Amino acid sequence: MKLGEMIRQQREARKLTQEQLAETLHVTRQAVSKWETGNSYPDFETLLVLAKYLNLSLDDIIQQDHQYTEKLKKEQKRMNATDIIGVCLALIGVIEVLWSHTVETPGLTSSGYLSLVLGGLVLICLGLLLIQAIPQAVKIGVLVITTLFSIVVIYSFKMEFFIFLMSAVALAGIGALLIYLFMK
């Protein structure tokens, strides 16, 4: 039996609509519909929640739906490549932060130094966001620190207060948006 058929049968047995199941899983109704028709599959994290919620065995799901098994194998290969890119970006960021001490005089009044450190922090942040194994809380923490440090760097440019305030609000908004997207 295909995964979509299992989902539909279990959902109907519990007298749930696609909308109700979607709300429980924090996905769209269209996503549930696509799963049930076999047009797409849930990602692995969603599948874990779905299996637990519907009392389905992951072994049964994976062993019975060969297409889903192939999809998981392809995702595993892709995740490994993404992890490698993330580690490389994070390492380059660390090198840039360490290198900034030798190029510029460290201090909160040195905009050149702060810009180099910020560039390194952004690379570290991007790298950590790409690494699948890092917990979501750590990713959000790094985003918050990078956003706050970006505001400090903007402050160091000694611009007019109104322009600084507009820039700080824009950066805080971008940081909040990224945090919201990662919490979904």
For 74-130, write each residue's pLDDT tens digit. 766 666 678 888 899 999 999 998 988 888 888 777 778 888 888 898 899 888 888
Sign of dihedral through CA atoms 2, 12, 30, 75? negative
Domains of the chain with bracketed CATH = 3-64 (1.10.260.40), 79-183 (no CATH)
Spatial contact of 88 and 41, defined as CB atoms under 8 Å apart: no
Task: Collect all residues with Cβ–Cβ distance below 8 Å to 179 and sequence separation of at least 6.
Answer: 140, 143, 144
| Mean pLDDT across the chain | 83
The pTM assigned to this predicted structure is 0.52
pLDDT of the residue at 163: 82
The CA distance from 102 to 74, in Å, is: 43
Query: Which backbone phi and psi does 109 adopt, to 5 degrees?
Result: -100, -5
